[in-house]
């Protein structure tokens, strides 16, 4: 999974401009983030057409505030620069819940 720090020369619009992008907000101290992180490679493999980008909420607090990310782990989905869905709250998320969220997104075919 790419990390936002690797893309710090770009802004959010350029990162999400083309195709399907999923921002995964996390932090090193977050127990619920550590719980779901081992499942992320399998989720990425299942949804290979989505560009997953991990965002360290503490390093990119301005972005988290801009996107109203108050709890982590959280997910924000984009297609061709437009937000198409979000799974944003402070609750622990399971692999099945994340897959259900992705399956219910309004991604255009």
Q: Is 33 designated active site?
A: yes
pLDDT band, very low/low/confident/very high, at 34 (cuts 50, 70, 90)? very high
Residue 39 resides in a domain = yes
In the prediction, which pLDDT does 12 show? 77
Does residue 108 belong to any structural domain of this protein?
no
Residue 6 pLDDT greater than 60, yes or no: no
Marked catalytic residue, from 33, 53, 77, 102: 33
Q: Is the pLDDT of residue 71 over 50?
A: yes
Decide if 96 is inside a domain. yes
> Looking at the domain assignment, is residue 109 inside a domain?
no
* Number of domains, the chain: 1
Question: Residue 2: its pLDDT value, please?
Answer: 74
21 catalytic, yes or no? Answer: no
Q: What is the pTM of this model?
A: 0.87
Residue 43 has pLDDT above 80, yes or no: yes
Which of 12, 23, 30, 102 is labelled catalytic?
A: 30
Structural domain of residue 27, as residue ranges?
2-103
Q: In this structure, is residue 47 part of a structural domain?
A: yes
Query: Per-residue pLDDT averaged across 29-58, rounded?
Result: 94
In 3D space, the residue among 53, 67, 61 whose CA is nearest the CA of residue 21 turns out to be 53
Q: What is the CATH number of the domain that holds 70?
A: 3.40.30.10
C-alpha 17/C-alpha 79 separation (Å) is 7
């Amino acid at each position: 999974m790419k990390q936002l720090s690797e893309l710090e020369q770009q802004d959010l619009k350029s990162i999400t401009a083309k195709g399907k992008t999923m921002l995964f907000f996390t932090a090193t101290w977050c127990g619920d983030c550590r719980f779901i992180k081992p499942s992320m490679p399998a989720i990425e493999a299942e949804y290979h057409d989505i560009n997953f980008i991990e965002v360290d909420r503490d390093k990119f607090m301005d972005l988290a505030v801009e996107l109203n990310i108050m709890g982590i782990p959280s997910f924000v989905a984009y297609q061709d620069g437009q937000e198409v869905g979000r799974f944003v709250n402070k609750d622990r998320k399971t692999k099945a819940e994340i897959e259900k969220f992705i399956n219910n997104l309004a991604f255009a075919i």
